[in-house]
Structure 1
Amino acid sequence: MTALPKYDRLEATGLWRPDPDGQRREVIVSIGDATLMITDMNDRAITHWSLAAVARSNGTSSPAIYHPDGDEGETLELPANESEMIDAIETLRSAIAKSRPRPGRLRWLGVALSVAAVAGLVLFWLPAAMRDNTLRVVPQVKREAIGVALIERMQRVTGPMCNDPAGLRALRRLGTRLETQKLAVVPALGRPGLHLPGGVIVLDRTVFEDWEEPDVAAGYILSELALQVERDPLAELLDVVGPWENFRLLTTGEISDTALDAYAEHLMTAPSFIPDTGNLLALFEASDVRATPFARARDITGESVLALIEGDPMQNRQTEPLLPDSTWLRLQGICGG
């Protein structure tokens, strides 16, 4: 049985030489099962070459010269008139070569997979891990400094912070009542409130001027406090400014002015978020503040804030006024009008 059935009876004559100094001998060449058999003219076996290890030393030139792979001293010459045998050997050599594994391809595949794994690590895992590490190590004083820096940039659009002395004293009193002192008021925030890194809360003047009772303003402050608890505002900043600024903050303790400008602009245009109702109601209860006035300020019909109204922890309870009327009036004039 031969490597291919059609070569079963194929034979050819050629010249075989055992080494470079040896005498060339006329031999009979035939194809066996995975071997090239070389016999003398009396049909005595001289040698067997593995077909998988047959190499050709002269390309397509004639006569075709073959040798065992790795040993160019032993040769077999087949003249051009033995083209059928030459074609058979070349066909088998080509088939064997195609069936061999491609170490280079496997190597490149391994390199490509490794690069893809590293790229995936850099793109997906590393930024989140670096952000989480930054959030752990950045001190509170640095967070507050970032919050103040953002307010300074936002004032280009919102106008300067309101600073009526009597109004500021009233604002501090409200902050003490709600256990948060980092409050600021601006003339044109474009929304009721924003929370910034470091616990800083910025409020629009309308939360004081447009309502007759301080519970509404307190509700907006508590709403921002609830959002702070639900998601670290510094994490929001790092997600927007990107990994490079995250790395800069982690290694130098600073964020570039360009990144702060971009994030301040983002804050002014990003959609408002509403905190979880359960979390917000818990803050109303802890602060002894009525939730219903705030809910009605958000939706006078009460339809979209029904859970706040029905879950108001101060419902049917007698509560002390959040602020004396005189203090509330001063707070309403914090922006000088």
Structure 2
Amino acid sequence: MTALKKYQKLECTGLWRSDLQGQRREVVVNLGESTLMLSDPRQETALAHWSLPAIIRRNPETLPAIFAPGPEGDEDLEIDDPEMIAALRTVHSALEASRPHPGRLRNGILGSIAGGIVLLAVIFLPEALVTHTVSVLRDATRVDIGRMALEDLARLTGQPCAGRRGTQALTRLALRLSDPAPRIVVLREGLTAPIHLPGPVIALPQSLLAEQDGPDMAAGFALAETVAAGIEDPMLPILRHAGSIATLRLLTSGHLPPASIAGYAEKRIAAPPARPPVAQLLPAFEAAGIASTPYALGLTLPDDRQRPLIDGDPFDGVAPPALMLDEDWVTLQDICSG
């Protein structure tokens, strides 16, 4: 044993008794490779051999140290030599470390399992919490969170344009998109493409209105955002941004801390524009009475991505119902002038 190398030929004296009722007698104690040999100092004859793995100490905290050949042994040995005591302690520690420890293995396995469960919880539970919370939200709560998200967006874009007649025109346009109708707002700057928020809220960049001859393209983009909001609930990215603690508070109290939404606007603007599948867009355009060709022409996409929207236009060769009066369109284009 490596632990014994530094103690080879270690020897000391001690007091030994052969049974608990016997008298103690002085012996010479020799530490061997596998045994502790006790011998008579006068006759130099061996009195006992103790197996090192079996030796125990009966008084771990006091001196002189008292050892026994095992828990059931009647013999004991009293030693006050510090080096021999240290040697036996070292041998005991080395032997203990080399023994199999089923309990440690079991605890290690249980620890690994627990660690795996924690890891799974970290990975999956936040998303499960988010999706469950979204599924039970009341409409009024969604409207309130959409308002907070729009306020965060206004830090970057300025407040929504609020010309009275233009706002009325937006309301009439929203009624064409879906039931319930979304709230459509126009933002003066900061947006390069329309986005949707809970509420539901559709935010259009002013540039989408300013350079067009009619409302068809703007209406198409607003409708596409409405379809996209039906594919993935706009509450999901907001709660992922807010985090698990804020989401849990929303679930238990019905209120989302406003501070948890801070910074969401930057993420939302930087996200790729919504591109719902053609198979879902065309029926929505037909139901809303809106031509899909102007929307397709407004997309910055390769021709092979635009073509299905043009070829599948439900109003190809047929005039769709008018979206708004010409005077409403003019006031809508000037909505940010007031």
**TM bucket by the smaller chain?**
0.7 to 0.9
Contiguous gaps of at least 5 residues in structure 2: 1-14, 26-33, 37-47, 61-65, 79-87
Q: Secondary structure at the match of 1:160?
A: coil
CA-to-aligned-CA distance 1:171-201 (integer Å, 9 cap, x gap) = 1111112232411122124223111112111
Equivalent residues of 1:277, 1:307 under 8 A apart:
no
Structure 2 CA distance for partners of 1:115 and 1:322, relative to 1, 3 Å: same
1:130 deviates by 1.6
| Bigger mean CA deviation after superposition, 153-162 or 127-136 | 153-162
1:249 deviates by 1.6
Matched, 1:262 2:259: no
Aligned to 2:225: 224
1:257 deviates by 3.0
Q: Partner letter of residue 161 of structure 1?
A: P
CA-to-aligned-CA distance 1:236-261 (integer Å, 9 cap, x gap) = 10111211221222223223332223
Aligned to 2:311: 310
Equivalent residues of 1:296, 1:302 under 8 A apart:
no
Q: Partner letter of residue 19 of structure 1?
A: D
CA-to-aligned-CA distance 1:267-308 (integer Å, 9 cap, x gap) = 3x4233232323222311222221111111124974542232
Structure 2 CA distance for partners of 1:129 and 1:19, relative to 1, 3 Å: same
Aligned to 2:166: 167
Aligned to 2:123: 124
Matched, 1:157 2:159: no
Structure 2 CA distance for partners of 1:194 and 1:22, relative to 1, 3 Å: same
How many residue pairs get aligned? The number is 319
Give runs of ≥4 in structure 1 deviating > 6 Å: 47-51, 56-59, 92-96
Aligned to 1:332: 333
Structure 2 CA distance for partners of 1:201 and 1:16, relative to 1, 3 Å: same
Task: Give, in whole Å, the separation in 2 of the partners of 1:159 and 1:109.
Answer: 57
TM (norm. structure 1) is 0.73
Equivalent residues of 1:186, 1:205 under 8 A apart:
yes
Aligned to 1:148: 147
Q: Secondary structure at the match of 1:305?
A: helix
Aligned to 1:20: 20
Matched, 1:191 2:192: yes
Aligned to 1:100: 99
Structure 2 CA distance for partners of 1:199 and 1:55, relative to 1, 3 Å: same
Structure 2 CA distance for partners of 1:181 and 1:106, relative to 1, 3 Å: closer
1:224 deviates by 0.8
Q: Secondary structure at the match of 2:20?
A: coil
Task: Give, in whole Å, the separation in 1 of the partners of 2:116 and 2:303.
Answer: 52
1:213 deviates by 2.2
| Bigger mean CA deviation after superposition, 249-258 or 227-236 | 249-258
Task: Give, in whole Å, the separation in 1 of the partners of 2:58 and 2:297.
Answer: 94
Aligned to 1:41: none
Structure 2 CA distance for partners of 1:220 and 1:18, relative to 1, 3 Å: same
Q: Secondary structure at the match of 2:19?
A: coil
Structure 2 CA distance for partners of 1:332 and 1:300, relative to 1, 3 Å: farther
Aligned to 1:208: 209
1:142 deviates by 0.9
Equivalent residues of 1:226, 1:275 under 8 A apart:
no
Contiguous gaps of at least 5 residues in structure 1: 1-14, 26-33, 37-46, 60-64, 78-88
Matched, 1:276 2:272: no
Q: Partner letter of residue 147 of structure 1?
A: G
1:56 deviates by 6.7
Equivalent residues of 1:223, 1:274 under 8 A apart:
yes
Q: Partner letter of residue 194 of structure 1?
A: I
Equivalent residues of 2:67, 2:77 under 8 A apart:
yes
Q: Secondary structure at the match of 1:202?
A: strand
Structure 2 CA distance for partners of 1:56 and 1:142, relative to 1, 3 Å: closer
1:108 deviates by 5.3
TM (norm. structure 2) is 0.72
Structure 2 CA distance for partners of 1:181 and 1:55, relative to 1, 3 Å: closer
Task: Give, in whole Å, the separation in 1 of the partners of 2:244 and 2:152.
Answer: 22
Structure 2 CA distance for partners of 1:96 and 1:316, relative to 1, 3 Å: same
Give aligned-pair identity as a percent.
36
- When the two chains are superposed, the root-mean-square deviation of aligned CA atoms in Å is 4.7
Structure 2 CA distance for partners of 1:301 and 1:322, relative to 1, 3 Å: farther
Task: Give, in whole Å, the separation in 2 of the partners of 1:190 and 1:243.
Answer: 29
1:23 deviates by 6.9
CA-to-aligned-CA distance 1:194-234 (integer Å, 9 cap, x gap) = 11112111112222222112220111111111221121111
Equivalent residues of 2:195, 2:273 under 8 A apart:
no
